Structure 1
Amino acid sequence: MIQNKMYEKLINFFNQKDYDKLIDEYSFLKEKKLVTAFVLNLVGLSYANQNKYQKAIDFISDAIDLDPNFPDPYNNIAIVYYSIKEYSLAKDNFLKCLELNNNHFQAAYGLANTYKMTQEFKLAIKYYNQSINLDRNFYPSWIQKIRTQSQICDWNQNEKDVEFLCKNLKDKSFDPYLSLFMINDSALQFKIAKLYVENKYKNNEYSFNLSRNINKKIKIGYFSSDFMNHATMHLMKKMFIKHNHDKFDIYCYSYGKKKDEVTEEIKKSITNFKDISNKSDDDLIVYLRDQKIDIAIDLKGFCSENKFFIFSRKIAPIQVSYLGYPGTTGANFIDYIIADNVLINEENRKFFSEKIIFMPDSYQVNDDGKKISNIKLSREDYGLPKDTFVFCCFNKIAKIHKTEFDTWLNILKKSAKSILWLLSENDIAINNLKKYAKKNGVDPNRIIFSSKQKLDVHLARHRLADLFLDTFTCNAHTTASDALWAELPIITKSGNTFASRVASSLLTSLGLDELITYNIKDYENLAINLSENKNKLNTINNKLKKNKLSMSLFNTLKFTRNIENAYSIIYDKYSKNERTADIKVDKVKI
């Protein structure tokens, strides 16, 4: 009974993330010689949650030494090894946990994640299945299994798995990020996000004692884990510099662990760059509220390595979702989402919990100084035939579904002198796509794969392709603006969701509506027509080159002034204590 009470106290401290009290309690128990393997394991976990990995390893190792037959410490030390990328040690300990308890669904899940990281995808799927069989309501296993199957283009099983998750949307939901890639239905995406938020986050009605003086400088806080070499920063980093610092105080709050040359570049260009990655959850909330931010911009949503919980705890009177997560958050603590009238139209407006900030052109900011390498490249450098029409898609391979690939194969069949150029990510996916092509009557040698390259060289190699073919459920986003910046036309099929309409937004803002289709037949016909009609393609190429310079998509300063106009409008509403409402931003004259 005493031991149960002791455990209860420790568990409460752990669940409340009150790690200092937990350590104090451990010291008291140690003095009384009441320390057990359970206690050592929990102390180790508390250090792991604070990213103090060596201390975590020390305590959990002591737990294992004290009771070698207790399965949980093996699982937990494996999680720590996974966190520090010691994947071999992680595998050994997950396997030991399963040896002691073959019903440990979390160890099966952890082992699957580890195999995924080492690109042993078939083993990863095996252990995701084991975890699911042990607990069908443990949705993280379903999510990661679907993502892994997407990475290797295992489409048939994915359709069944997504169908299972969607049919069981009652009291529980799953990570909404997955829905962006798998579901072309705004109503369903909204339902998934709303239910997920209601289950995971408690809304905190915190009152802000901030000045509502309309004449003061407005303090803007951008939040992300991606202040590094990442697609979001490729788009945004110049905007931070272009902000009007006489009217706005710009702060960047970085909670990502990874830092690189882009991090350093941003830190040099931004006076107020705050690294908040090592703060505990509660300390972080106190710190951020003390920062007295007027408008907090979440650049992550439900993307990996997010800290969406900070917005549920209210860190600013105005909270906005932008760019990183292309869809509704379903959260009543996010006041606005930045979009445009192509992404969110009258039909799907009702499936957004946020009020909409409609930008005058595309919602997407771009860096108009993005460098394209001057390196001389040839088709031979990439194994591309000289005298063929090159269709390409440089999206992540996980965005390619059976529907897209079937469409592309039909295009190749009807456009005899053409090839398809894709990015390679793993050999299993390459083999699966080539096998599928052969089975469906297309020579697999007509599908050519290339590896990733530095951004400036990657942009330069776009010149070797003739036409970019977009994916459907989740379009090319940064990848689309990269293609257009490199002056490569892209054809898209506009869908029913934010994520499936991004390329349409970009093309519309460049006056290239003729490259937008609304069904697969028209998409196919347009691709074939452009591959056979050189004059028509040349006309589009020339229009792209001209409009790229004259229209607003690639004008960072103009976009920055427009978004600042939006910030001023929503702050004005707040300062006058007016209710939030959709706003349409007028173009600012420069």
Structure 2
Amino acid sequence: MNSIAHVQLQEAIQAFHNEDFVRAEKILRDMIVQTPNQYDATHLLAIVCAHQAKYQEAIRYYRNALSFSSDSVPALSNLGAALSAIGQPHEALSELERALKLDPKLAALWFNAANIISDLGEHKRALNYYEQAIQLSPGYIQAYNNFGKALFALGDYSEALTCYEKAIALKPDYIEAWSNKGNALGELKRLDEALACYDQALSLKSDYIEAWSNKGVTLQELKKYNEALACYDQALTLKPDYIEAWSNKGNALGELKRLNEALACYDQALSLKPDYAEVWSNKASTLSMLQRYDEAILCYQKALDLSDNIDWIYGDQIYAQMKVCNWSNFQENTEILARKIRSGEKIINPFQLLALNDDPLLQRQCAEIYARDQYSANPILGPIPKQARKEKICIAYYSADFRNHPTAHLTAQLYELHDKARFEVIAFSFGQDDKSVMRSRLSKAFNQFIDATGMSDKEVAMLSRKLGVDIAIDLGGFTLDNRTDIFAYRAAPIQVNYLVYAGTMGAKYMDYIVADETLIPLTSQHFYSEKVAYLPNSYQVNDSTRIITDKKLTRQHLGLPEKGFVFCCFNNNHKIVPASFDMWMRILGAEDDSILWLLEDNAAAAENLKKEALSRGIDGDRLIFAKRTSPAEHLMRHCSADLFLDTLPYNAHTTASDALWMGLPVLTLMGESFAGRVAASLLNAVDLPELITRTSKEYEALAIDLAINPESLEAIRSRLERNRLSKPLFNTPLFTQNLEEAYIQMYERYQADLAPDHIYL
């Protein structure tokens, strides 16, 4: 290089350092015109173009520079960066790999290659590259941080936390590492510590929008929804087009049941990024809660079209379809679900599976996948010290349904009848106070009724321990608004899965499941992770004081024909599967003078079921739909039906008790899983085993026989009327004594330092 060219190059370098890229570019272009084969000028011109985001030009000049010096590691490295910037990661990685062969001891090359590999989703492979960078440069702060990000993506949150802490130790004001540390702590359910990390990041940079948004996510996890909203709003004030904050704000509003506002947030996010699959999924979930199922199904499909990597969404879409009795591809979908569960994929919420599959082993596998991913055991509170024997055993029930809800309709009298001389009985309520008569009744039934809606799961677990709860009874399981993390923290020495979720929790911290020998035969115990507390008769409690309206509800008033046989099923529509419906249509086809009376969850379900009937040769008008009404009127309308037809794989539970309480016989087809054997449990407890069938042919034949032989049906009705108050099913005082005896045996095993084991009463 001659002296003039050398001076020009120095001027260009000075302009570059002064960020006067236009001047630097002009000088370098003039140099290249004068002397075309200048490596230094060409390489620097490429760098200047890259700094101005002129990546295509930069790439061209990097390649030109390499034509003059093919073994230039800086040019190869910079070319890789430019290719990555225009979305060509594979080509970028190829150039970096070439550079690494030339200089394998350059830590920055390993680091940059690792970043590209991680961006490609190959996080495990990226770890090796980050390790190489750190071995070559032990003080490589960014490498520790990004190493942690790759570990985080792989779900190894503890190791990720260690990496972030190393980065912070090297650079205490490393803002991104503080925020990332908060993310790892959040995944480890160390939520208060996570908040402290976000606050530290924000103290270093008050306009750090990612920290504001992530702080909101943690506050949301702590059930502090309004504080979370304030954080999202702060992030959006700083960056109105911050898509993640719009999405997170929608999630918080959804938790507050401000569903239309949540939809507006998701729509705002999608207006900024129409291909944001997770937001389409969140929007779909909100539409489902608004019972706009057809719209939800379309949104789920949009999300699936955009990404096949969203956990649980496949099951969510199928569940939305079941809500409207849309059975397109039903067989294929259920086969896919079974295959993916067996391979350990996060494909469906276990509660949703109960209505789709009767295999108890598959249900356990699904529950274990879900519990491990969503509600893994959290030891942060430490073990509960051994509690001394007390005069009263302290039992606590945890539920979102202490209100006008089917769970409360079953259990209210139980709480009232508990022997308060032997038991201290506490309620932890997470649901809304609906100001109903039932809410008022329940609040008086316990020694303590604690409204825990504003408390975090950790706070509830801590309060449970402080109150000395001996036995914690989860009435929610994996159903809507569950608070399973309370039990993951260990709220009590003994934890029980009871009543609402009809299956195993698949979690080692749940010690017992309450059942009976119809529900879980001795040969089926291995399908349940809990030990079984076997009650005599039936596992299901009932309230024998339920109020029935004195209003006379005639067939005409209920929209039923004056004459003819009325089959009915008041189960939720999502429990109706094609196999059950096929049986029902064959039954209607065999008895022309009959109709099927169903609950109408939504208009779309009713319309689809009518179409399904017509496709099976049955006039859709023979399906009549009942609107939801008050519990008292709902009970009374059973008197206008002749026979209740049950569903499988998810039986009638509360609805079966309603029917039997009102003297309406229930015909069931018993399955293999807990959810598919509940009606049989109830029928055994009311001594009507002849209504339990074991094959579809037997089910159909008995339904038809009872419809055409009124004497047979009347004989069963008469037995039911006699048995209703004389047999155990509705004997709530007897049931309470049996359940209390099960609690006592659990407690005695604990006091004797014995591990939980099956209990037989």
What's the TM-score once normalised by structure 1's chain length?
Answer: 0.94
Q: 1:254 Cα deviation (Å)?
A: 1.5
Q: Distance in 2 between matches of 1:55 and 1:352?
A: 39
Matched, 1:65 2:240: no
Q: Distance in 1 between matches of 2:612 and 2:351?
A: 27
1:500–1:432 CA distance, 2 compared to 1 (3 A): same
1:27–1:245 CA distance, 2 compared to 1 (3 A): closer
Q: Distance in 2 between matches of 1:45 and 1:190?
A: 30
Partner of 1:191: 365
Q: 1:19 Cα deviation (Å)?
A: 6.3
Partner of 1:330: 506
Partner of 1:370: 546
Partner of 1:555: 731
1:371-422 alpha-carbon deviations (Å, 9 max, x no partner) = 1111111000121111110000000011001111111111111001000001
Aligned residue runs from structure 1 range 537-576, under 5 A: 537-576=713-752
- Give the residue type in structure 2 aligned to 1:167: R
Q: Distance in 1 between matches of 2:226 and 2:487?
A: 31
Aligned residue runs from structure 1 range 87-102, under 5 A: 87-102=259-274
1:69–1:459 CA distance, 2 compared to 1 (3 A): same
1:409-459 alpha-carbon deviations (Å, 9 max, x no partner) = 111110010000011121111111111111221111111011011001100
1:85–1:190 CA distance, 2 compared to 1 (3 A): closer
| Match 1:172 to one of 327, 342, 345 | 345
Confirm or deny: 8 A CA contact 1:506 1:553 kept in the other structure. Answer: yes
Partner of 1:390: 566
Confirm or deny: 8 A CA contact 2:321 2:327 kept in the other structure. Answer: yes
Partner of 1:306: 482
What's the TM-score once normalised by structure 2's chain length?
Answer: 0.73
Report which stretch shifted further, 303-312 or 492-501. Answer: 303-312
Report which stretch shifted further, 249-258 or 539-548. Answer: 249-258
Partner of 2:450: 274
Matched, 1:138 2:310: yes
Q: Distance in 1 between matches of 2:575 and 2:544?
A: 27
- Give the residue type in structure 1 aligned to 2:296: A
Q: Distance in 2 between matches of 1:349 and 1:25?
A: 45
1:22–1:356 CA distance, 2 compared to 1 (3 A): closer
Matched, 1:235 2:410: yes
Partner of 1:516: 692
Partner of 2:356: 182
Aligned residues: 584
1:534–1:89 CA distance, 2 compared to 1 (3 A): same
Aligned residue runs from structure 1 range 576-587, under 5 A: 576-585=752-761
Q: Distance in 2 between matches of 1:438 and 1:466?
A: 23
Secondary structure of the corresponding residue to residue 496 of structure 1: coil
Report which stretch shifted further, 560-569 or 153-162. Answer: 153-162
Partner of 1:449: 625
1:26–1:8 CA distance, 2 compared to 1 (3 A): closer
Q: Distance in 1 between matches of 2:194 and 2:305?
A: 35
Q: 1:194 Cα deviation (Å)?
A: 2.3
Q: Distance in 2 between matches of 1:218 and 1:333?
A: 20
Aligned residue runs from structure 1 range 233-272, under 5 A: 233-261=408-436, 262-272=438-448
Q: 1:141 Cα deviation (Å)?
A: 1.6
Q: 1:95 Cα deviation (Å)?
A: 2.2
Larger radius of gyration: 2
Q: Distance in 1 between matches of 2:424 and 2:519?
A: 29
Matched, 1:127 2:127: no
Q: 1:523 Cα deviation (Å)?
A: 0.6
Confirm or deny: 8 A CA contact 2:549 2:636 kept in the other structure. Answer: yes
Aligned residue runs from structure 1 range 471-510, under 5 A: 471-510=647-686
Confirm or deny: 8 A CA contact 1:149 1:158 kept in the other structure. Answer: no
| Match 2:579 to one of 403, 413, 422 | 403
Q: Distance in 1 between matches of 2:189 and 2:522?
A: 44
Q: 1:347 Cα deviation (Å)?
A: 3.4
Q: Distance in 1 between matches of 2:219 and 2:206?
A: 20
- Give the residue type in structure 1 aligned to 2:337: L
1:107–1:434 CA distance, 2 compared to 1 (3 A): same
Highest RCO, 1 vs 2 (Cα 8 Å, sep ≥ 6): 1
Q: 1:528 Cα deviation (Å)?
A: 0.6
- Give the residue type in structure 2 aligned to 1:189: Q
Aligned residue runs from structure 1 range 282-301, under 5 A: 282-301=458-477
Report which stretch shifted further, 251-260 or 272-281. Answer: 251-260
- Give the residue type in structure 2 aligned to 1:339: A
Partner of 1:588: none
1:118-161 alpha-carbon deviations (Å, 9 max, x no partner) = 33322211111122233323233222211110011111334333
1:25–1:572 CA distance, 2 compared to 1 (3 A): closer
Q: Distance in 2 between matches of 1:28 and 1:186?
A: 48
Unaligned ranges ≥5, structure 2: 1-141, 143-173
1:163-217 alpha-carbon deviations (Å, 9 max, x no partner) = 223212334344211221111111111222223323344335653334443x722
Confirm or deny: 8 A CA contact 1:434 1:444 kept in the other structure. Answer: yes
Report which stretch shifted further, 227-236 or 131-140. Answer: 131-140
| Higher share in helix | 2
Q: 1:43 Cα deviation (Å)?
A: 3.6
Confirm or deny: 8 A CA contact 1:227 1:259 kept in the other structure. Answer: no
Partner of 2:288: 116
Matched, 1:149 2:325: no
1:251-301 alpha-carbon deviations (Å, 9 max, x no partner) = 111122444322221112222112222122333322222222111111111
Q: Distance in 1 between matches of 2:673 and 2:196?
A: 51
In percent, how many aligned pairs have the same letter?
36
- Give the residue type in structure 1 aligned to 2:365: K
Secondary structure of the corresponding residue to residue 366 of structure 1: coil
Report which stretch shifted further, 215-224 or 496-505. Answer: 215-224
Q: 1:318 Cα deviation (Å)?
A: 1.4
Q: Distance in 2 between matches of 1:429 and 1:8?
A: 45
Report which stretch shifted further, 46-55 or 103-112. Answer: 46-55
Q: Distance in 2 between matches of 1:375 and 1:293?
A: 44
1:428–1:494 CA distance, 2 compared to 1 (3 A): same
Secondary structure of the corresponding residue to residue 412 of structure 1: helix
Unaligned ranges ≥5, structure 1: 586-590
